[in-house]
Structure 1
Amino acid sequence: MSRSIDYGNLMHRAMRGLIQEVLEDVQERGLPGDHHFFITFDTAHPDAELADWLSDRYPEEMTVVMQHWFDHLEVTDEGFAVTLNFGDAPERLYIPYDAIKTFVDPSVEFGLRFETQDEAEDDDQPTPPDDGPGGGETESQPETERQDAEVVSLDRFRK
């Protein structure tokens, strides 16, 4: 019987723990300095919770921005809930860590990217830009800021 260490899943779990720790600090102390987050998540994830009009508009994934205005951030071991502003309409979202596809803090050029095995097979294909709505005061994620962040993709190291 052959057994191997699943480094990919171990790293994904560690990276999600890092996101949880960062969000817990923000929950307790607020966002320091120029830090802000672009968080892309799977809106079809069974545990994700968002308004029907948002899931209708973004049936696969959505990018939210936590920057100038967000409220009621609640962080748990499974995910986080936050109220964001979508065109002067506050909406409550619950995002499980398992639903997160990317987590980027462009203020310090830091980013994490989570890929499924299917996405890893398409690694050679360019990823179209996401035009999802932003939370806070930003409506969309500027392409220049996305390109400035260093994104870590662990699936390229999988065999």
Structure 2
Amino acid sequence: MKITKQLIKKAYDLAKAGFNNKTIYESLDISKSAFYNNKDLMDSIKKAKAELREEVSTSLLTNAKTGDTTSLIFLAKRLNLFSEDVQIKLTNPKSALKSLEEVANANISLEHKNSLKSIISDYIKAYEVSELEERISKLEELQQ
């Protein structure tokens, strides 16, 4: 299917209404590759999505300023207004344990804590495996 100015306008309208790219190219009945390979089409969609983000942001801010608690809560969460910035530095098992302590005491969401905990735990496991491999190699060398 040929991508016309009318089709680009339709894609713009769909993007401005908040639809994702897959829904847009399926609605326009064009292939995924034709969709992503047309620069004018992609520029139009990018512009529409930027305008939509701006409108939604402005609306949320306006509502939040008038005391709309739902908007206030959404913005606070989205902007991480009440969360600490947790910095973890993993260099050895002691630093990993220190990082676990910082994560446990941080004022962040449980989801964020679990993500960081998972990263730290994976680091500790990898460190232990590496250390065990070194020990086994040294024992094998001694037996030879």
**TM-score normalized by the length of structure 1:** 0.18
Bigger radius of gyration: 2
- More relative contact order, 1 or 2 (CA 8 Å, 6+ apart): 1
**TM-score normalized by the length of structure 2:** 0.20
Give the number of the structure whose residues are more often helix, by fraction: 2
